Structure 1
Amino acid sequence: MRSIWKGAISFGLVTIPVKLYSATEQKDISFHQVHREDGGRIKYKRVCSVDGEEVPYADIAKGYELPGGEIVVLTDEDFADLPLTTSRRIDVLQFTPAEQLDPILFNKSYYLEPETNGVKPYILLRDALERTGQVAIVKIAMRQRESLAALRIRDGVFVLETMLWPDEVRVPGFDFTDEDVEVRPQELKMAESLIQTMAGEFDPADYHDAYREALQQVIEAKVAGKEVVRPEAPEEAKPAVDLMAALRASVEAAKKEREGAKPAAGQAAAGKAEKDEKPEKKRRTRKTA
């Protein structure tokens, strides 16, 4: 990995120099816009909407549009006076239990690696957070933006989770939340039974991006000159008319699916045991003879 930012964690009077790395990456298959006839790349020009002339990048400024449609043009001097810190510091503001942070606030994840002279204080703060069960709330200025962030530990490494500001989270103003909907106790108990039947330990490796894999096969088939076969689309599920019946059927289906996996595992174990017993029978036969 390549570091994208260098700075220091400021923890009281302790300074921990660190490097910052992107902790995640998107695996989407990217495409270019091309001319259908010859595959030529489509390019865009920066054209002024007033005079229709192409504008050099050096002459492009930032503009803020007012409600009436007027544009306020901002220059580099305007941005120079803003109170955005230029110091590369990750300032620790407070410590708090992890369960108090709503996951909707998390924006992007980064790994923090200590510089050579910062390994000991890095490990000290890491171990202290693990022992107390706390996460650090910090503030960081990066890419012309000041962000609130959480500093937590994953696999022995600090993870910096940049967070949205409270006014960036939308309020879910949906009408159905004000409706008086009656849920029968039997329906609630059946739903709980379905949840318990489907409950299990979460392992991300059990899931995969079926669409991306299918798209990659289409691309590989195109490259190889093979005929592309369109997979059959699954039937769309229809809304359940009887909620209780649908829940009961779902519980039964989940139970059958789990019970079906047990005999397969038992047969595999029996087959292995049978293979292990065969050599013993042959040796006993030779001894008897």
Structure 2
Amino acid sequence: MRAIWSGTISFGLVALPCQLYTATEESGPGLHTVHVACGGRVRHRRFCELENVEVPQAEIARAWEAPDGRQVILRDTDLEALPLPTKHIIEVLGFVGAEEVDPILYSRPYWIGATGAGAQRPYALLVEALSRSGRLAICKVAIRSRERLAALRPRRGMLLLQTLLWPEELRDPGDLSSTSPLTDRELEMAEVLMDALAGVDISELHDEYTAALTSLVDAKASGGELAVRPEPAPAVDLMAALEASVQAAKRAREDGNEEPP
């Protein structure tokens, strides 16, 4: 892996030189856009709307527009020069229980590696201390010229930094709750269904969309068509749907527990 950030974790008077590595990557066959009529690649180019000319990357910058229409142009060098103390420091603000962080705030994860021999003991100390306490370290860090909140936690004997959304980045959905009344029988059947479906090994789950897309590409490449799976008909009666779901879950569990011949 290639480090995307270098700096120091700072908690109290302890300094831990480290690097960040992207922890996830997109999977699946890469698709690109083409002109249907001839199959030619469709390229996305940057044009200036005033001069109607293509603009090279070196001449592109960001800008903020004032209410009166004036623009303040910001180049990469301007953004790099921002006086952020978190530009090269992961500043630990405090420690909280994992349940205190709303899961909706979690964003992008990064592995953390210690830099140099002198960072090994502080790294091991922080991993073990977090593991024993069951707490997360809430931090601030600037990644790609933008300051973010982050949660620092142990995972498989290593440190994982997961950026968090700022509270103001959450959209207010209004009230989307349902006022529909439920019967005790419906709630009981829902609990029975949950018990029947209890236990999921996430490590055994796979991206079915990617598998289906790969099958479609293979079928098209060989001049065939992919069979379309019929969509299940929506159930109208809630109780009937719950009962049928419970029976289907029980059958699936029984089939899965059968010994192979």
Q: Deviations over 1:215-249 (max 9, x none)?
A: 223434555xx2323212222331x3221122122
- Alignment partner, residue 60 of structure 1: 60
Equivalent AA in structure 2 for residue 209 of structure 1: D
Query: Matched residues in 2 for 1:113 and 1:82: separation?
Result: 26
Query: Matched residues in 1 for 2:225 and 2:171: separation?
Result: 43
Instruction: State the structure with more CA Rg.
Output: 1
Pair 230,87 (structure 1): closer, same or farther in 2 beyond 3 Å: closer
Out of 246, 249, 273, the position equivalent to 2:241 is: 246
Equivalent AA in structure 1 for residue 244 of structure 2: A
Q: Which has the higher helix share?
A: 1
Query: Any stretches of 5+ residues in structure 1 without a counterpart?
Result: 272-289
The alpha-carbon deviation at position 38 of structure 1 amounts to 5.3
Pair 256,61 (structure 1): closer, same or farther in 2 beyond 3 Å: closer
Equivalent AA in structure 1 for residue 108 of structure 2: K
Equivalent AA in structure 2 for residue 249 of structure 1: A
The sequence identity of aligned pairs, in percent, is 45
TM-score in terms of structure 2 length = 0.88
Give 3-state SS (helix, strand or coil) of 1:99's partner: helix
Bigger mean CA offset, 15-24 vs 246-255: 246-255
Give 3-state SS (helix, strand or coil) of 1:54's partner: coil
Alignment of 1:1-289 (within 5 A): 1-36=1-36, 39-65=39-65, 70=69, 72-76=71-75, 79=79, 82-85=82-85, 87-115=87-115, 116-174=117-175, 176-177=176-177, 180-200=179-199, 202-221=200-219, 226-238=222-234, 240-262=235-257, 264-265=258-259, 268=260
Query: Matched residues in 2 for 1:120 and 1:167: separation?
Result: 37
Give 3-state SS (helix, strand or coil) of 1:47's partner: coil
Q: Deviations over 1:115-157 (max 9, x none)?
A: 2320111001111111111110011011010000000011001
| 1:111–1:158 CA contact under 8 A, matched in 2 | yes
Query: Matched residues in 2 for 1:164 and 1:35: separation?
Result: 38
Query: Matched residues in 1 for 2:67 and 2:201: separation?
Result: 49
Pair 137,99 (structure 1): closer, same or farther in 2 beyond 3 Å: same
| 2:151–2:161 CA contact under 8 A, matched in 1 | yes
Query: Any stretches of 5+ residues in structure 2 without a counterpart?
Result: none
Greater relative CO (CA pairs within 8 A, separation 6+): 2
| 1:197–1:251 CA contact under 8 A, matched in 2 | yes
Query: Matched residues in 2 for 1:127 and 1:91: separation?
Result: 19
Pair 81,88 (structure 1): closer, same or farther in 2 beyond 3 Å: closer
The alpha-carbon deviation at position 78 of structure 1 amounts to 6.4
The alpha-carbon deviation at position 109 of structure 1 amounts to 0.2
Equivalent AA in structure 2 for residue 74 of structure 1: I
| 2:79–2:145 CA contact under 8 A, matched in 1 | no
| 2:110–2:161 CA contact under 8 A, matched in 1 | yes
Query: Matched residues in 2 for 1:80 and 1:147: separation?
Result: 15
Query: Matched residues in 2 for 1:55 and 1:253: separation?
Result: 59
Give 3-state SS (helix, strand or coil) of 2:107's partner: strand
Query: Matched residues in 2 for 1:33 and 1:180: separation?
Result: 45
Query: Matched residues in 2 for 1:143 and 1:87: separation?
Result: 9
| 1:61–1:73 CA contact under 8 A, matched in 2 | no
Q: Deviations over 1:65-93 (max 9, x none)?
A: 4678x352323486577443364111110
The alpha-carbon deviation at position 2 of structure 1 amounts to 1.6
Q: How many residues align?
A: 259
TM-score in terms of structure 1 length = 0.80
Query: Matched residues in 2 for 1:166 and 1:172: separation?
Result: 14
Pair 250,42 (structure 1): closer, same or farther in 2 beyond 3 Å: closer
